[in-house]
Amino acid sequence: MPDELLERLRRFHDQTFPGIQDQFQDLVEQGQHPHILFIGCSDSRLVPYLLTGTGPGDLFIVRNVAAFVPPHDGMLAVRSEQPAPDGSYLGEARRWTGYHGTAAAIEFAVLNLQVSHIVVCGHSHCGGIRALYEGVPKDAINLAAWLDLGREAVLPVQVSPEALRRTEQRAVILQLERLMGYPMVRARVEAGQLALHGWHYVLEEGEVHVFDVKSGQFVPASAATHSGTGPYAEPDADTMASPLFNEIDASYAAPRVKPGS
Ligand SMILES: [Zn+2]
């Protein structure tokens, strides 16, 4: 049986690499200095370099199922499915969510690489988001626990293409909020040294919809005036109100525990 992967490796070395060898020589000698941390879903149809027109050395990438961000302290509030008669959730508990390569990558990108942008990129037809509604195989205990990081974005409705689309977008905002729970992220965002970007990539349209914190909406890049904002924006000149996500009366808003509280 032909080993197709081996063939591909040889082709890369023999045919592709000679054309980009100088570039890699520079990247090795001078080290990597990417300005962007890209947190994206692992989906094979999401290709960060293609999407952003970037190449080697440009993006520090961490990908996982559904582009989720674990809490900085590793503790996640998980509550029971059903509220008690008085509306409270009796089963609420904070649990340790385990070791996280994604959390480590965020710390490394911010503290060591000092990136100036963090992109959280979800996408249409995301299997991870769909699994929030449809469940996962019984043996997938890690996947089931991981999906808790998007649980707050779930809508109390029947699953439909529209509900999935909205949940995908709500999940992006939820992760941006959780990013603000990283002290090194929050400090740099508030100092204007780091920008957060919430993206929802529509596979079939080839278009990223970027989150605009002021309108509380995702706007197609073709109609947007910026490449997306996080849950934090400069205070409005008139009202001096900083439109934090918690204050947005948007349909995207999900009930949540405020970071740090
Ligand atoms: Zn996905």
pLDDT digits (tens, 9 = 90+) for 228-250: 876 666 555 554 444 444 333 34
- Name the least confident of 22-26, 119-123, 151-155, 223-227: 223-227
pLDDT at 119: 98
- How would residue 80 be classed by pLDDT, with cut points 50, 70 and 90? low
What is the distance between the alpha carbons of residues 218 and 209, in angstroms, rounded to a whole number? 5
pLDDT at 214: 85
What is the 84 CA–ligand 1 centroid distance (Å)?
A: 33
Residue that has been written with the tokens 């503790």 in this structure: 75
What is the 99 CA–ligand 1 centroid distance (Å)?
A: 21
Judge whether 37 and 58 are in contact, CB under 8 Å.
no
pLDDT at 261: 34
**Is beta strand 117-123 parallel, antiparallel or unpaired with respect to 75-78?**
unpaired
What is the 160 CA–ligand 1 centroid distance (Å)?
A: 16
Instruction: Assess whether pLDDT exceeds 50 at residue 58.
Output: yes
What is the distance between the alpha carbons of residues 72 and 80, in angstroms, rounded to a whole number? 22
Spatial CA neighbour of 209 closest among 132, 131, 119, 147: 119
**Helix residue spans in 95-160 (DSSP H):** 101-107, 127-134, 141-147
pLDDT at 95: 73
What is the 121 CA–ligand 1 centroid distance (Å)?
A: 9
pTM to 2 decimal places:
0.85
Judge whether 173 and 197 are in contact, CB under 8 Å.
no
Instruction: Assess whether pLDDT exceeds 70 at residue 93.
Output: no
pLDDT per position as a tens digit, 181-233: 999 999 999 999 999 999 999 999 999 999 998 888 999 999 998 888 766 66
Region at 240 (left for phi over 0; alpha for psi -120 to 50; beta for the rest) = left
Spatial CA neighbour of 182 closest among 115, 228, 247: 115
For range 73-88, the mean pLDDT? 69
Average predicted confidence (pLDDT) for the chain: 87
Judge whether 189 and 206 are in contact, CB under 8 Å.
no
pLDDT at 89: 56
Residue that has been written with the tokens 């994206």 in this structure: 40
For range 96-115, the mean pLDDT? 93
What is the 235 CA–ligand 1 centroid distance (Å)?
A: 33
pLDDT at 217: 93
In angstroms, the Cα distances linking 186 to 69, 101, 256 are 14, 20, 18
pLDDT per position as a tens digit, 159-173: 999 999 999 999 999
Residue positions counted in the chain: 261
- DSSP bridge partners of 78: 93
What is the distance between the alpha carbons of residues 199 and 241, in angstroms, rounded to a whole number? 24
